[in-house]
Amino acid sequence: MSDTAILSISGLSKAFGGLLAVNQISFDVHQGEIVGLLGPNGSGKTTLLNMVSGALPPTQGRVRLRGRELTGLPPHQIARAGVSRSFQLVRVLPSLTALENVMVGAVFGPDAVWGAEAEAIARALLERVGLSGRERQRPEAMTYIDQKRIELARALAADPQVLLLDEWLAGLNPTELQTGIALIESLHAEGRSILMVEHVMDAIRSLCDRCVVMNAGAKLAEGTPEQVLSNHDVIAAYLGDENA
Amino acid sequence: MIFPMQRREVIAVAASMAALALLAGLPLADDGFWLALAITIASYVAMATAWALFSGPTNYVSLATAAFFGSGAYVVSALAETAPWPVVLVAAAVVGALLALATGLATLRLSGMYFVIFSFGLAELIRQLVTYYQTQFTGSVGRYIFVTISAAEIYWQLLGLCAIGLFAGWAINRSRLGFALRVIGDDETVAAHSGIDTARAKVLLFSISGALIALVGAVMAPRFTYIEPQIAYNPMVSFQVVIMALLGGAKRLWGPLVGVIPFVLLYEWIAGRFPNHTHLLLGLVFLLVVYFVPQGVSGWLEKAWRKLQGKSA
Amino acid sequence: MLTTILVASVLLGGAYALMAMGLTLQYGVARIMNLASGETLMGAAFGSFCLFTALQIGPLLSLVLIVPLAFAINWAIYRWLLSPLVRRAKNQGMLEVDSILATFGLLFVIEGAMLAGFGGNYYSYSFLAQPVTLLGHSFGLNRVVAFGVAALVALGLYFGLNRTRYGTAIRAVAVDPVAAGLVAIDVPRAAAFAFALGSALTACGGSLLSMFLTFNASMGVVFTMKALIIVIMGGVGDPRGAVIAAFLLALVETLVAALVDPGLTLAATYLLFVLTLLFRPQGLMGRRA
Ligand SMILES: Nc1ncnc2c1ncn2[C@@H]1O[C@H](COP(=O)(O)OP(=O)(O)OP(=O)(O)O)[C@@H](O)[C@H]1O
Ligand SMILES: [Mg+2]
């Protein structure tokens, strides 16, 4: 556990009845780093994020943000401490306008801004994710990628210390994917710390500084994208043993 | 409240003040049938507004209105002879808020279903508790209420409660709490993950709503002269408040206001014409509202208005 | 004293279990929280009462008439009244609110019909009222018979759900309606069936209760409340949990009625409810997520 760790996860486990969905996972996310969380379907990635964001209490282990204990806190306190997230199945607020959707992040986040200031933050972020001019639309009438953009903007509006993305790039077409990757790259450039669950290899290669690979709840490998993607065990986990 | 008031809002506030002043003059014109009807209407406007304050934005259907109403009335029966009226009212509000607080703390951390179920039996529970207490400790179940208060005074106090309810709704809508509630109504998971203490927001608002309804019960109590648990905790009250708020539309502050007046008139008519079938007919009306006016009259009006504007533009 | 209470609560728990299993089927499979459940129960009780007093048809025989009738009526209710709500709901939350409101309205319609027919008076009739001795204490034969019938019906339901093809299909819908649809299960039909079956079970419980209980037209709410609390205590959608919770509730009620005051049984029910909410909101049998 180095001193520059902004998010540190140690010995984190989650059991659903008899199923050990996450098993003794430990790793750090450092300031300004994008860490990719990889693994086959059902390997426990979302469950891990859920424990970090407070959606699920861990069965064991700890989560700390800059040394501050987050373990077992309710999600709203974790959000106020500076952890924001997106959801694997996009979650937008249907009865709020796009602008209001994004304002939510700013209004209830760590800085708790209100009024014109929150609106300004939300406007700037909508522009940044490519939705300027659509402030008054409702997300229901928007495409899937636009809803994902709103969700990202809402997470960013809190100005989080750590951003958790759960397959934010999944389901985009090739052009949208390029835009998406560029957007996350720009977050990287401004020094945001991000923990992202991702399956898209191009994105992992171009964005991640480091990757953690999970399989059946346990940590299989950790290292640079090149290292983990050429790792024998990782290939075996993704493709089945006989291909390795 | 940081947002500056918009011109539309200034007009709305001024218009409501004027309307209120006008309505307050009613007892000068009539103190019989019309005043009685106005009292009924005002009491339901206050309750339906208070109900929608909480249930509108959160989508948590509260079926417990009678519990708050009855408890307010019972505070009057317990205190009216010994304490001055303002103190009685404060006590009623406190009791209503505490009851809501207890309900909220037990259920509002969990999903909406638990809240609905808890509220569903609450009036009956408290009715049984009051009955038990009275038979055990006071010997008789009913009580007479001796308060010298005129019908006009009751009416004015109810109008005051309507104004407080509407003002509270307006102020909450503009506040962070109101914004938080809209988020909660849409998606509690997102709300919590955005930093909203969802349980706290819900409990707070439910307590405000509960206090207001208990106040209506207290102000209405002298109209009963004699109260017993059956009368005070009448499930019909819960039922009517829900149906009125839905008919008007619980998502808008002025919705319940629009729902109450036609419904009270309908109720008076049904109760007069078909005294033995009131229950049945009201149930049918309720179903009609749920099926055919799901957004309420106010939602329907707003849609029509938007269409009209769209055409003229 | 203690054995009396224990046996009495087991006998009472049988009918409660039927009603709670009915409700849990309706919520678990059809996704409808049926607030009119208690009115179905009272309706069946009045049905048995009428058949017995007017035509001398005993409640055990009238079950054969009332239960299928409740099934048919509730099938129709689901088809015409509730499935439009299922179709118009954009998500589970909307359906929950709509179904709560619709069944709340239905509650008043059924209760209103019973009030119009029977007024607010209390009714009861005397059927198999002779005492029998169990474990050295005497109980009404009607209670014992009612329990026996309830146990048979519950067993039948258990085998139906676990050992037949259609039962498996229903359980599949309860677990995951989308996946069930993908494997060619007719989900709307299974939901209608489960809803109707749930009400049939409730009606059966009502007819059985009428054999030994004094009842009136506005008692439905209390029974709905009991059934709802049993369902939550047992873990939503879990019939085994419902049975255990039903006996637990019957025991607590019987204890309170015998040792404290019969007027406080609903308070006892609520106490159990609050304890469940505070300590095991996932239910007795549910696993903590
Ligand atoms: N709330 C829950 N209750 C019970 N089991 C759960 C729950 N959430 C997840 N699981 C189980 O835990 C395991 C890990 O699931 P998780 O969603 O974390 O996987 P994942 O790595 O995110 O997969 P994917 O790539 O498909 O999103 C799975 O077997 C899943 O079925
Ligand atoms: Mg996942």
Distance CA B17, CA B11 (A): 10
- What are the structure tokens assigned to C263, written together? 């007027």
CB A152 within 8 Å of CB A73: no
Q: What residues line ligand 1, using a CB cutoff of 6 Å?
A: A 16, 19, 21, 39, 41-47, 88; C 289
Q: Check whether A4 has a pLDDT greater than 80.
A: no
Predicted pLDDT at B153: 92
- Mutation pick from B3, B194, B203 vs chain A, by most beta carbons of A within 10 Å, is B194
- Mutation pick from C24, C32, C101 vs chain B, by most beta carbons of B within 10 Å, is C101
Long-range contacts of A125-129 (CB under 8 A, 24+ apart): A125/A153, A125/A156, A125/A157, A126/A98, A126/A99, A126/A102, A126/A150, A126/A153, A128/A153, A128/A156, A128/A183, A128/A186, A129/A153, A129/A183
Residue indicated by tokens 């075996």: A236
Residue indicated by tokens 């049926």: C34
Q: Check whether A234 has a pLDDT greater than 90.
A: no
CB C131 within 8 Å of CB C140: yes
For residue A25, CA distances in Å to A60, A83, A198 come to 10, 19, 17
pLDDT-based confidence at residue A243 (cuts at 50, 70, 90): low
> Hey, are the CB atoms on A96 and B186 less than 8 Å from each other?
yes
CB B182 within 8 Å of CB B131: no
Distance CA C186, CA C170 (A): 10
Predicted pLDDT at C288: 45
Most confidently modeled of B15-19, B47-51, C60-64?
Answer: B47-51
| B and C: number of Cβ contacts within 8 A | 116
Angle at CA A122, nearest 5°, toward A119 and A128? 145
Q: Check whether B16 has a pLDDT greater than 90.
A: no
- What are the structure tokens assigned to C189, written together? 């039909």
Closest C-alpha to A147, from A204, A94, A184: A94
What are the helix and strand counts (H, E) for chain B? 15, 2
Q: Which amino acid, one-letter code, is at A7? A: L
pLDDT-based confidence at residue A242 (cuts at 50, 70, 90): low
The domains located in chain A, with CATH, are 1-82+161-244 (3.40.50.300), 90-159 (no CATH)
pLDDT over 70, % of chain B: 97
Predicted pLDDT at A51: 95
Pairing of the two strands A83-85 and A162-166:
parallel
Q: How far is the CA of A235 from the centre of ligand 1 (A)?
A: 21
Q: Check whether B307 has a pLDDT greater than 90.
A: no
> Hey, are the CB atoms on A105 and B194 less than 8 Å from each other?
yes
Ligand nearest to the CA of A41: 1
| Span C60-70, average pLDDT | 93
Q: Report the phi/psi class of residue A130: left, alpha or beta, with left for phi > 0 and alpha for psi in -120 to 50.
A: left
B131 touches chain C (CB under 8 A): yes
CB A37 within 8 Å of CB A45: yes
What contacts A52, CB < 8 A, 6 or more positions away? A7, A9, A63, A70, A78, A83, A164, A195
Q: Check whether A16 has a pLDDT greater than 50.
A: yes
Predicted pLDDT at B1: 38
> Which residue on chain A is closest to B184 by alpha carbon?
A93
Q: Check whether B297 has a pLDDT greater than 80.
A: yes
Q: Per mean pLDDT, which range of A23-32, A152-161, B164-173, C257-266 is the poorest?
A: C257-266
| Span C147-155, average pLDDT | 90
Predicted pLDDT at B311: 67
Q: How far is A15 from chain C (nearest CA, A)?
A: 8
- Tens digit of pLDDT for each residue in C47-60? 999 999 999 888 89
What are the helix and strand counts (H, E) for chain A? 9, 10
- What are the structure tokens assigned to C9, written together? 């609560």
CB B72 within 8 Å of CB B213: yes
Q: How far is A170 from chain C (nearest CA, A)?
A: 22
CB A9 within 8 Å of CB A63: yes
C165 touches chain A (CB under 8 A): no
- Tens digit of pLDDT for each residue in A81-96? 999 999 999 999 998 9
- Tens digit of pLDDT for each residue in A44-70? 999 999 999 999 999 999 999 998 999
SS3 content of chain C, % helix, strand, coil (to 5): 75, 5, 20
A158 touches chain B (CB under 8 A): yes
Distance CA A157, CA A150 (A): 10
| Span A114-126, average pLDDT | 94
ipTM, two decimals: 0.91
Predicted pLDDT at C82: 92
Q: Which residues pair with C139 in a beta bridge?
A: C132
A203-218 as b/e, with b when 16 or more CB fall inside 10 Å? Answer: bbeebbebbbbbbbbb
Q: Per mean pLDDT, which range of A173-177, B282-286, C80-84, C88-92 is the poorest?
A: C88-92
> Hey, are the CB atoms on B189 and A91 less than 8 Å from each other?
yes
Helix (H) or strand (E) holding A69: strand A68-69
Closest C-alpha to B122, from B70, B161, B87, B166: B70
Helix (H) or strand (E) holding B256: helix B255-273
Q: How far is the CA of A36 from the centre of ligand 2 (A)?
A: 13
Predicted pLDDT at C277: 87
Q: What is the dihedral of CA B35, B39, B41, B45, to 10 degrees?
A: 140
CB B219 within 8 Å of CB A179: no
From A13, A23, A38, A43, the mutation candidate for ligand 1 (largest count of ligand atoms within 8 A of CB) is: A43
- Residue C190 main-chain phi, psi, to 5 deg: -65, -40
- Mutation pick from B55, B109, B115, B279 vs chain C, by most beta carbons of C within 10 Å, is B279
Q: Report the phi/psi class of residue A115: left, alpha or beta, with left for phi > 0 and alpha for psi in -120 to 50.
A: left
pLDDT-based confidence at residue A231 (cuts at 50, 70, 90): confident
C275 touches chain B (CB under 8 A): no
Q: Which amino acid, one-letter code, is at B57? A: P
Distance CA A191, CA A28 (A): 16
Those of residues 174-203 in B touching chain A at CB distance below 8 A are 176, 179-180, 182-183, 185-187, 189-198
Distance CA B93, CA A147 (A): 44
Angle at CA B127, nearest 5°, toward B124 and B129? 110
Instruction: Tell me the average pLDDT of chain B.
Output: 89
- Tens digit of pLDDT for each residue in B87-117? 999 999 999 999 999 999 988 877 788 899 8
pLDDT over 90, % of chain C: 41
